Every structure is written in structure tokens, then in C-alpha cells.
Amino acid sequence: MKELTKKALDVVKEMGASYGDIRIVETRTQTIRTRNGNVDALSSTRSKGFGIRVLYDGAWGFSSSSTLTEDEVVRVAKEAVEIARASASVKRDKDVVLSPVKPVVSKWTSPVKIDPFSVKTEDKIALLLEADRLMADRKEVKVRIGSMACQREDKIFASTEGSYIEQTKIETGAGIEATAADRGELQRRSYPTSFGGNWATAGYEIVEKMRLLDHAERVAREAVELLTAKQCPSGVMDIIIESSQLALQIHESCGHPIELDRVLGQEASYAGTSFLTPEKLGTFQYGSEEVTITADATLPGGLGSFGFDDEGVPAQRVTIVDKGIFKNYLTSRETAHELGQVSNGAMRADGWNRIPIIRMTNISLEPGDWTLDEMIKDTKEGILVATNKSWSIDDKRLNFQFGTEIAWEIKDGSLGAMLKNPTYTGITYEFWRSCDAVAGKDEWELWGVPNCGKGEPGQVAHVGHGASPARFRRVKVGVGKW
Amino acid sequence: MVDKKLLGRENALDVIDKVIRWSPGDLTEVILRSEFTALTRFTKNYIHQNVAESDYRVTVRVIFGKKIGSVTTNSVDDDSLKQAIEDAAAIARLQPPNEDFEGLPEPEPLPDVNCFVPETASFSAKDRAAAVKEIVEIAKERGFEASGAFSTGSAELAVGNSRGVRAYNASTYAALSTVMAGEDGTGYAEASGRDVRELRPAEVARVARAKCEMAQNPVSVPPGEYEVVLEPLAVADLLDYLGRAGFSALAVREGRSFLTGKLGQKLFDEKFNMWDDGLDPRGFPVPFDLEGVPKRKVVLVENGVAKELVYDYATAKKEGKKSTGHGGFRGWGPMPTNLFMGEGTATLEEMIRATKRGILVTRFHYTNMAHPLKVLITGMTRDGTFLIEDGHITKAVKNFRFTESALRVFSTLDMIGREAVRVERTVVPAIRVPAFNFTGVTEF
């Protein structure tokens, strides 16, 4: 592969590019899905190709191909420069400048205890079908789904600045869900969380740790119980958010608005911009003193962990919000330069055929010193919400609304009745400023979100979020007419 | 004429024939896709991202009895194809039979639909940059900043199976969108189609600019129930949810659809008509689905009455019906893919004039389903939201959050625009709804 990367970089240099990089990426994925007692999908996917990114006359060009031959590498390298030339015809008043990074020659492999590809497919199927059987007893449960997937990505990055980095990353995920329907109502429960379960940069050990079979019967039972549960009330009240829903809250209302490309307008035409404009850096009160948020690409097992980003910048841990004050963005070499900084390594591409853009790493709420029990006991009137069902947020990431699968009343310090269709809404900074309790390390969990969409053409990133349950005061819940 | 990078009908079907010949399965299905796409992205009046991609993908399903293994590879050389077949056969043998498997479709005559426009396939980075320049100049005339994306590409889809299905289609695609931003408001417009020459960048830019001019100095209006005039971009969003949530034969059978037990009933306003038609050139025509079954027009709602559902091969066979050509979404069941809503008689101006105190919505943002049986949707307004008072647009307003049921929208609408426009794969007019629930407001 070294010859091919050298060829690509030589061609772009000869054509006058001031910078060039090439990524050769091979991804192998196995997906298993069971549905109502059958293996609904058992598939294996391989995708291999390369992408070449160049700066020419101060503007970007990128081209990519799945045909890994020298001739095609030369063609694509030339095309990338041609495209950059076209970009330069509608250029900014100043050239793109990359903040410096030390060239690196390195190898990185994610730690794995049990290689998920070495586990017998029959055993994986048997586990999901047994979970399915345990969910099958109730006639109201119409759809039972089990899913498991593993992915191996082998990637080479080489740049005209002298970096040559080889990385191998293995990810595994699994989950179960039951959908119940009866008499005009439809409800779903999932475990460990919704939309495909939990994921990690890890091996099959994460699936074993989930103990899916221990939760299957409860998942089906709660889906059925929700059909006749009380409707979540409407009003302003205290809410306690369980860890996996809080992970998505962090994702939407902190993870995206701190992406510096969004802040600088690079996503304006699609996903939008950000309320966290540069003059707020270092001074803006994003949350209460209880709120400290970090971006940590070095977190063991985090779905957003890696050795180096797709610009060859080493993985880092950065404090984003320090005791409520907004301190840092996620940056790239180009965007960091705009603020007189160097990149903190958040550029990732969704495969060989996409350019790197700023993506979340593992964005986590640091643990506090409460317990969930203490929070419930300390709450006079409110609700506890769990497991995401729907999400929506405006294009500057201010006005959000979430729906969760389930909630429970809290009255006078005790958990009460189950509630269906819970929703809550707010303005990002008002909401985080209302946080007055965060549970400690023992209840802190790391969640993998494998479906973060961004960019045009669309890219899907795998990112991570750590959180323990937290309490927020006077939040609007039960939105809309039910 | 076929773009030189594409495999062409003969080569694509040759790949399919080979795989089927080499497969040890009782049944075999092959889907081949090739894609040559490019996209130019701009922000603040300059191009900041500019990309291109060439890829081939082959998905092989090898079936023994009711055991199915599926492998996808993006290498189309013989060795890779043989490896894919071997791997698919190996994983098929590992599993218990899928009792829901109903077999593979038989060949049917396919409609002849031209989806390929050479001028789109040959549209270059230079051509896209020239169009972006035109848009940027129009923005600069008013001191605005234009952002957006212009994508063009060509693709092939070939589907074959061991029962004799051989389907091939080459297509092109072009899409252009721009958000124009002023001091404190934005405007949006888009265009798409198979023929890049229909996109008219200057026209798109002028529509976005006019919206942007109107959108400056927004005031905050309290949330609540308002009359609304929804422009086609907003209507398309709601119609897509309605189609996906309700009209899949599998969802209806499993009780996951609001239509379970209600087919044939009048559920919507009698002016409301909706159908799926993959062959109508006003949308994005495509002759067949991912199972190689020809697309059929399906009347989903006629004069407010829920009439028919979309089927794939498996759901159709289970009910003794014929697939409507909406298959291939593994595990999800059939889904509408090319929705049309019938036009009414009103102009946009007439809808605004008929509104005493209401909101004009250009488009929605980040919508999501809060409850599928109620088709309760939440989302934000974006890029041009205006207050209507006594039949006139009086001012721009800060963006709202809505939480509203699409069932209620299409059962209570009282005016429908006389011109349906293409919004990607959906073709819709504007509508007026007498009461629409805005549940929150944001700061811009």
C-alpha cells in the first residue's frame, strides 16, 4: 500500500497542490437481526477504497474510488486537483490555512478481549433467538427484534507532510426491543437502549456484559404495561434523566453545537449552525456548576475513541464545559487556525469515499457525587424518564424536544406510577443551568451512538457519550396534545 | 447513451448472470449498484467542500430452502464475486429457516422509463462551480451570504434472481439547494431532478433571496394554535411521515399502522388525494424496486378515503396479492417511495388572504415521530417563517417548534394549492390548515 500512497502524493505534488492526503480504508461488517422468531437478516459487508484530499490554490478538492489500482490512484489524484481548481474559482478572500501538526509514523489498534468475528455465528444467532423467545409470551407484543453487529475498520493515512498512520478499530453492538400494540395504542421498550442497543469500540465482551437474556422478559412486560399506563402529565416540573437518554441529550445539545465547522457556517445549508459563537468561548455560562463536560477520544471502549483522527492528529481529552463555563470547541486543522489554535483532533470521515469533517469523539458529562436514589428521595414532585424514543432540535441547537419510551412519577421522594409517551422540551443553556444534581461514578455509563448523521453527501459517525443520571429543575414536560 | 464510467446494461447483467450461475443456492438474488456522484458545497459565498466518488456494490443473497445468507462487496472482479457467493452460502447454512421467507419474485415485463440524462452525467466540477458563482453573485447584490450544495451524478441499478428476473436501469440525479443569510434571518430554496438543465440556479437563488429579504427583523410570537399556510417543502415532510407510518401492508398487518382495521374508511378531508407512482416523470421515476418488480401506481387516499397499501413480494404473497413494487427494504417491510399529493384550486396568495391570524411556513427542520399511531410529529420551522394578519404577511417571526399530528393536518386542511412541485421524491402542493399546534419558540 505504501507504493500507492506515495504515488498519489507524488501526483498531487507534481500538479501543484500545497497539501495532500490519502486514506485507504477497508471495512468489514457483520449484521444479524432476528424478528419474531426468525433470522431476518444475516449479512456481511466489505467495502474497500481510497480517497484523496488536496489543497490547491488555497481551496479544497477531494475524489475517491473503490478501484485500488495504480492507474485509478493516478486518475483520482488528478481529479481531486481538478476539483480543487474548480473550488478556487469561487474562493474565499483568504486561502485555507492548516494549523500545524507534527508528522507521525505510527500504528494503533483498538483493544479487544474477544474478537467478535471469532465468535461462532450460530452462537450469536442462538443468543438473539433465545432473547426473542423470552419476549414472545405476551400476545400484545407484535414485533420482537434482536440485533447484533460487529465492524472492523483497517485504515491507512498518509500525507504530503510525512505522516503514515495505520489503524485498526473493532466495534461491537447489540440490543433487543419489543413493540406492543392493542386497542389503538402502540408502545415500545428496548434494552440496553433504543435504536440498535449499545455499541462500543470493543469485542464480544460487551455483548456478554449486557446479559440480554436477563432483561428480555422485562422489556416485553414493560412494553405491554405501557399500553395501559397513565399518560405523562403536561406541566413544568423537575425531571431526572437516566443515563442513556442523557447521553442523547448531551449529543444533541452539547456535542453538535461545539463542532467548530458548524459554528463557522460550514454546515449552514444542511444541519445548521450553532448558538455557541466564538465570542462566548471561555466566558459563556453553558450550565450550572454541576455541569462539567469533556471530549475524550482516548476513553477505553468509547465508540468515539481512536488513535489518530483523519488528519493525523493524535486522540486527545479536552474539557468542553468546566463547572458550567464553556471552554472549548471540537476542532480541525483548518477551523482551529481560524481561532489561532491547533487542532484537538476531531476530524473523521465515514469511510474511504467521504471527506473528514468535525465529529464528536466521546462527549461525556463528568460524574457528580449524588446517587439516583438520593435524587429521587430529594424530589418532591417530578418524573424519571428513560430510553430515547424521539429527538428534535433547532438548527442553532437551542430549542430541543425529546420523547422517551417510559417514565415514572416521583411524588414526595418515591417512585410512583409508570407513565407513557413522556416528552420534555427546553432551551439548551437554560436546561443545563437548571441541572442541580449529577450521580456519581458508580452509576456512570458509556454509551455508543452509531448513527450520528452530518454533512453533504451524508455521513454517519460512530460516537460515544458517558453519563450518570442527573436532575433538572422546572422543565416543561408532556408537550402537545395526546 | 450511457456514461462511460457506468458498466452498461450488458456488463451489469453479465455480472448478475455469472453470480447466479456460480451460486450453489436453491435460490439466488443479486443486486448491483454503481454510483458516480459529485457534490460542490458552499458557505458564506465561497466553495468550501468539493467531492467526487466512484463505487460499485454487489449484494448476493444465497438461499437454501428458507435459510438466507447475504453478502455485500464493493469489488466486482470474479474472485471477489466468488468469495461473496461462498461467504453468503456459508452463513446461510448456519441458521435456522426463516419461516417468513416467501421466495423470490418471477420475472414480469418492465416499463420502459428513461431515467438517464447525459447532460447530467457529464456535468463537471467546473459547471457546478459556475452555477455556485451565479448564486453567490445574486446573494452579494443584497449583501447576503449564500450557503448550499449542488450535487450531480449517475448511477446504475441491476437486479436479478435465479427465477429469471433481470432488471437494469441507468439514472442520473441533480440537486441544488441554498440557504441565504442576512443579518438576522435566512431564506431557502431548492430544486432537483434527473435533468440538471431543469434546475435553474439563478431562479433558485432569487427565491431564496426574496425569502431572506422578508425574513429579516423577526419578532417573537407566543406559541399556540394558529392557522397555517404550509409551503410545499413543509407539506412534503408531513406527507412522507404519513406515507411511511400508515401505508405499509406489513405495518397494517402487525397493528403498527393507524390504518389497521380502517382501510376503506374516510379518515381525511375529502379534498385530500395521495398516491404513489414510481413511473410519473414529475417525480423521480424508476421502473422497478430492489426485488426487480415493476413499479405500480398505488392510490393510497382517494377523496379522503384510505384505499390501498404498498406491498413487497413477501407481504403480497402472504395476502394472496401482487407486489406493487415497493420491496427490498430488508426487515422494514414495504414502504411508499414516490408520493404524490393531488392539487387543489388555490393560489398561495389566496391561502394567505383567507388567513386572519396565522403563520406561513417555508419549511420544517429536524422533524421526528413522537408517536407512530397518532402520526404525531415534532420539529422546528426554518428559513422563512412569517406572521399573516388579516390576509397579509405582516412580519417575519422567530422560529417555532410544532408538535402536531399529520392525521389531523390532512383531515382538517381547508385549501390546497393548485400547483404541485417536486420536493426530492415527493410531489406536493401548498396547503392551508385552520388550526396547527406550535408548542415552543426559539431565539432566532
Above 80 in pLDDT, residue B410? yes
Are residue B175 and residue B251 in the same domain, yes or no? no
Q: Does residue A482 lie within any of the structural domains?
A: no
Are residue B184 and residue B92 in the same domain, yes or no? yes
- The verdict on a CB contact (< 8 Å) between B378 and A480 is yes
Return all residues near A129 (Cβ < 8 A) that are at least 6 apart: A34, A37, A39, A146, B96
Above 50 in pLDDT, residue A472? yes
- The verdict on a CB contact (< 8 Å) between A142 and B41 is no
> Looking at A228, A247, A279, which one is the last position of a domain?
A228
**Nearest to residue B377, comparing CAs of A65, A390, A278, A174?**
A390
Are residue A235 and residue A181 in the same domain, yes or no? no
Residue B4's pLDDT band (cuts 50, 70, 90): low
**Nearest to residue A270, comparing CAs of B39, B360, B397?**
B39
Select from A36, A87, A268 the Cβ nearest to the Cβ of B129.
A87
Q: Which residue of A has its CA nearest to B133?
A: A90
Above 70 in pLDDT, residue A10? yes
Q: Hey, is the C-beta of A355 within 8 angstroms of any chain B C-beta? A: yes
Give the gap in angstroms from C-alpha A446 to the nearest C-alpha of chain B: 25
Query: Which residues in chain A are closer than 8 Å to B255, comparing Cβ atoms?
Result: 142, 181-182, 186
Above 70 in pLDDT, residue B432? yes
Are residue B265 and residue B401 in the same domain, yes or no? yes
Q: Does residue B93 lie within any of the structural domains?
A: yes
Select from A61, A390, A395 the Cβ nearest to the Cβ of B370.
A390
> Looking at A228, A256, A291, which one is the last position of a domain?
A228
For A55-66, the pLDDT digits (tens) are 999 999 999 999
Q: Nearest 5 degrees, angle CA A45-CA A267-CA B39? A: 60
Query: Which residues in chain A are closer than 8 Å to B49, comparing Cβ atoms?
Result: 60, 62, 266, 355, 456
Q: Does residue B237 lie within any of the structural domains?
A: yes
Are residue B161 and residue B202 in the same domain, yes or no? yes
Label the pairing between strands A38-56 and A19-35: antiparallel
Q: Which residue of B has its CA nearest to A396?
A: B444
- The verdict on a CB contact (< 8 Å) between A269 and B42 is yes
Are residue A148 and residue A213 in the same domain, yes or no? yes
Residue B348's pLDDT band (cuts 50, 70, 90): very high
Give the gap in angstroms from C-alpha B33 to the nearest C-alpha of chain A: 13
Are residue A310 and residue A355 in the same domain, yes or no? yes
Are residue B131 and residue B232 in the same domain, yes or no? no
**Nearest to residue A359, comparing CAs of A274, A461, A458, A278?**
A461
Total residue length of chain A: 482
Are residue B143 and residue B227 in the same domain, yes or no? no
Residue labelled with grid coordinates 481529552: A317
For B273-295, the pLDDT digits (tens) are 999 999 999 999 999 999 999 99
In the prediction, which pLDDT does B95 show? 84
Judged by CB atoms within 8 Å, which residues 57-86 of A form the interface with B? 59-67, 76, 79-80, 82-86
Measured distance CA(B154)–CA(A459) in Å, rounded: 19
Are residue A312 and residue A214 in the same domain, yes or no? no
Are residue A144 and residue A16 in the same domain, yes or no? yes
Mean pLDDT of all residues belonging to chain B: 96
Are residue B71 and residue B94 in the same domain, yes or no? yes
Sign of CA dihedral A126, A130, A136, A137: positive
- Host domain of residue A420: 231-477
- The verdict on a CB contact (< 8 Å) between A390 and B378 is yes
In the prediction, which pLDDT does A482 show? 83
Query: Which residues in chain B are closer than 8 Å to A76, comparing Cβ atoms?
Result: 54
Are residue A239 and residue A221 in the same domain, yes or no? no
Measured distance CA(B83)–CA(B74) in Å, rounded: 12
Residue B2's pLDDT band (cuts 50, 70, 90): very low
Angle between helices A70-88 and B125-140 (to 10 degrees): 20
For A86-128, the pLDDT digits (tens) are 999 999 999 999 999 999 999 999 999 999 999 999 999 999 9
Q: Please answer whether residues A337 and A97 qualify as being in contact, where contact means their C-beta atoms are separated by less than 8 angstroms.
A: yes
Q: Hey, is the C-beta of A133 within 8 angstroms of any chain B C-beta? A: no
User: A399, A428, A451, A479: which to substitute to probe chain B, counting the most B Cβ within 10 Å?
Assistant: A399
Are residue A302 and residue A420 in the same domain, yes or no? yes
The HSE-up count of residue A340 (CA atoms within 13 Å, CB side) is: 2
Q: Which residue of A has its CA nearest to B367?
A: A392
For A339-380, the pLDDT digits (tens) are 999 999 999 999 999 999 999 999 999 999 999 999 999 999
Q: Does residue B3 lie within any of the structural domains?
A: no
Q: What are the cell numbers at B253?
A: 398487518
Are residue A205 and residue A288 in the same domain, yes or no? no
In the prediction, which pLDDT does B332 show? 80
Q: Which residue of B has its CA nearest to A94?
A: B46
Q: What are the cell numbers at B2?
A: 450511457
Give the gap in angstroms from C-alpha A482 to the nearest C-alpha of chain B: 9
Above 60 in pLDDT, residue B344? yes
Q: Does residue B380 lie within any of the structural domains?
A: yes
Q: Hey, is the C-beta of A277 within 8 angstroms of any chain B C-beta? A: no
Mean pLDDT of the region B332-354: 97
Are residue B154 and residue B66 in the same domain, yes or no? yes
CATH number where B135 lies: 3.30.2290.10
Mean pLDDT of the region A174-178: 98
Above 60 in pLDDT, residue B3? no
Q: Hey, is the C-beta of A353 within 8 angstroms of any chain B C-beta? A: yes
Measured distance CA(B362)–CA(B173) in Å, rounded: 24
How many C-beta atoms lie closer than 10 Å to residue A156's C-beta? 18
Domain count within chain B = 2
Angle between helices B125-140 and B201-214 (to 10 degrees): 30
Are residue A224 and residue A240 in the same domain, yes or no? no
Residue B329's pLDDT band (cuts 50, 70, 90): confident
Q: Does residue A204 lie within any of the structural domains?
A: yes
- The verdict on a CB contact (< 8 Å) between B124 and A86 is yes
Above 80 in pLDDT, residue B330? no
Domain count within chain A = 2
Are residue A52 and residue A146 in the same domain, yes or no? yes
Are residue B381 and residue B275 in the same domain, yes or no? yes
CATH number where A60 lies: 3.30.2290.10
Q: Does residue A105 lie within any of the structural domains?
A: yes
Residue labelled with grid coordinates 424514543: A389
Are residue B263 and residue B200 in the same domain, yes or no? no
Paired strand residues for A391: A402
In the prediction, which pLDDT does B1 show? 36
Q: Where are the alpha helices (DSSP H) in B215-267?
A: 232-246, 249-253
Are residue A161 and residue A285 in the same domain, yes or no? no
Q: Where are the alpha helices (DSSP H) in B9-77?
A: 9-22
In the prediction, which pLDDT does B251 show? 95
Are residue B188 and residue B296 in the same domain, yes or no? no
Q: Does residue B4 lie within any of the structural domains?
A: no
- Host domain of residue B73: 9-207
**Nearest to residue A349, comparing CAs of A21, A59, A17, A3?**
A21
> Looking at B207, B227, B260, which one is the last position of a domain?
B207
> Looking at B207, B236, B257, which one is the last position of a domain?
B207
Q: Does residue B300 lie within any of the structural domains?
A: yes
Instruction: Using a pLDDT cut of 70, give the percent of chain B over it.
Output: 99
> Looking at A192, A208, A228, which one is the last position of a domain?
A228
Radius of gyration of chain A (CA): 24
Are residue B282 and residue B247 in the same domain, yes or no? yes
Give the gap in angstroms from C-alpha B111 to the nearest C-alpha of chain A: 30
| Cα separation values, B78 from A28, B25, B81, B258, Å | 19, 18, 5, 48
Q: Does residue B289 lie within any of the structural domains?
A: yes
- The verdict on a CB contact (< 8 Å) between B46 and A36 is no
Q: Nearest 5 degrees, angle CA B53-CA A151-CA A199? A: 115
Q: Hey, is the C-beta of A113 within 8 angstroms of any chain B C-beta? A: no
Q: Does residue B260 lie within any of the structural domains?
A: yes
Above 80 in pLDDT, residue A426? yes
- The verdict on a CB contact (< 8 Å) between A49 and B255 is no
- The verdict on a CB contact (< 8 Å) between B71 and A43 is yes
Are residue A209 and residue A245 in the same domain, yes or no? no
